[in-house]
Amino acid sequence: MLMAGFDGLVALLSIPLTVFACFALVDAFIRREDAFRAADKQTKPFWLIILAIALVVSLIFPLLSFLPIIGLIAVIVYFVDVRPAIKQVGGGGGGGRRSGGSSSDGPYGPYNGGR
């Protein structure tokens, strides 16, 4: 009875890990390739392969195995180190705010309050 409850808890914890790895993979996919080089954070194909392996491992192996833990560490490194560096370089995906400009800038230039 106790082990069944523990197995259910581990299964519930593996769901956010899988979602986290999937989000990291999609985020790395939409970033520009030259931003990875400009931020000096390996290459885009390198991170796509690492994050895809982390996602597959989180789907196949149980959470208490060492492989999903290694995959989780890779995903955390991407989110803590690589992603902020790429965003700082300006390698955002499609959309989002432009860097540099005022908060009153619209799609056609600055808004001057109807003056």
Helix (H) or strand (E) holding 110: strand 109-110
Residue 70 has pLDDT above 80, yes or no: yes
- Which has the higher per-residue pLDDT, 111 or 35? 35
47-69 pLDDT, tens digit per residue, is 999 999 999 998 888 777 788 88
Most confident of 9-23, 36-50, 80-94, 95-109: 36-50
Distance CA 47, CA 36 (A): 9
- Which has the higher per-residue pLDDT, 82 or 107? 82
- Global pTM exceeds 0.85: no
Q: What is the mean pLDDT of the chain?
A: 81
Helix (H) or strand (E) holding 44: helix 44-60
Residue 28 has pLDDT above 90, yes or no: yes
Instruction: With cut-offs at 50, 70 and 90, classify the pLDDT of residue 100.
Output: low
Distance CA 98, CA 100 (A): 6
